[in-house]
Amino acid sequence: MGPDGNGLIRVRVFGNVEGMQRCGQRAVLMVTRVVEGTSTSVARRRVELTCGLASGHLGEHQDPAHGEHWAGKPGQTPTLLRHEEDDA
Ligand SMILES: [Zn+2]
């Protein structure tokens, strides 16, 4: 457990779904970054998300492990985009 509140919330979400049937809806997260010296964004990482909420939940799907949420219908695999600044 880290000092940030987010870590604690994620642990609680996992605890609530333990032993329950999970939603399991999937999405793909594309993490983009600007190429140094240009204004072009390229995909740097591709992350597969799985909804960790209980089956039949209301509202958006959530992947607590990756801190992402999305709206999607059954049978769809939406693609999300997240832009990361390169601070290094
Ligand atoms: Zn879901």
For residue 58, the enclosing domain spans 5-83
Please tell me the distance between residue 46's alpha carbon and the centre of ligand 1 in angstroms. 20
Q: Is residue 37 part of a domain?
A: yes
Contacts 24+ apart (CB under 8 A), 57-61: 57/23, 61/23, 61/25, 61/27
Query: What pLDDT, on the 0 to 100 scale, is given for residue 75?
Result: 82
Q: Which residue has the higher pLDDT, 22 or 14?
A: 22
Residue 50: CB atoms within 10 Å = 16
CA of 78 to the centre of ligand 1 (A): 12
Q: Is residue 72 part of a domain?
A: yes
How much distance in Å is there from the Cα of 9 to the middle of ligand 1?
A: 17
pLDDT of residue 45: 92
Residue 88 lies in a domain: no
**Side chain identity at residue 41, one-letter code:** S
CA 51 from chain centre, in angstroms, equals 8
Q: Is residue 23 part of a domain?
A: yes
Residue 38 in 3-state DSSP? coil
Q: How many domains does the chain have?
A: 1
Residues with Cβ within 5 Å of ion ligand 1? 23, 25, 51, 53, 61
For residue 80, what are the β-bridge partners?
29
pLDDT for the residue 73: 82
Residue with tokens 């949420």: 69
Q: What is the pLDDT of residues 44-74, one digit of tens each?
A: 899 999 999 999 999 999 999 999 999 988 7
* pLDDT attached to residue 50: 96
